[in-house]
Amino acid sequence: MAKKQATAPAATAGDAPAGGKGKLKLIIVGVVAFLLAIGLSIGGTWYVMQQGQEQEAAAPAEGAPGMPQRQAAVYEVLMPAFVVNYNQNGRQRYMQTTLALMSRDPVALGALKEHMPLLRNRLVMLFSSQDFAALATPVGKEMLRQQATATVQELAQKELGKLAVEQVLFTNFVLQ
């Protein structure tokens, strides 16, 4: 019985290091695979980003001779804000709005500034002729913005001979 007890612990002790080495190898292989996956991910991302930068650098050179470049937008805020009043069903209503003119031609926008009193007069007349209930809806506000754009473009066409303003934008819009 002493022999059985003596050999039994030795066999168990011999199995433990072999099992521990197998688990250690499995952990090392897993860590190496994980690091390899991270490295490939970083490398792939870097490669794709470099390709994108090369294409962006090559695109303007190819498109420059044949296609005209679109100029950056220039904005002119009309100050002071427009304040108009109108009578709605016997009740006095007010509208305050601040506008910005968007143009891609700074020279034409500068030339339009000479006609600012006439432009402001036309916009005040347009704003004061509106219906309060219609302006309370988003669709009504958008329609008013389009009417203001048409009014400004009409004036620019008449006075300058070209469309100096691409859009009229509301930067502030208050109804009371």
Whether CATH 3.30.479 fits 74-175: yes
**In which band, very low, low, confident or very high, does the pLDDT at 14 lie, cut at 50, 70 and 90?**
very low
Selected residue with higher pLDDT from 149 and 133: 149
The average confidence (pLDDT) of the chain is 82
* Residues 30, 42: Cα–Cα separation, whole Å: 18
At 83 the pLDDT is 92
Go through 8-30 and write b for each residue having 16 or more CB atoms within 10 A of its CB, e for each that does not: eeeeeeeeeeeeeeeeeeeeeee
* Mean pLDDT of the region 101-113: 89
Domain residue ranges of the chain, discontinuous segments joined by +: 1-66, 74-175
Selected residue with higher pLDDT from 163 and 5: 163
| pTM summary value | 0.59
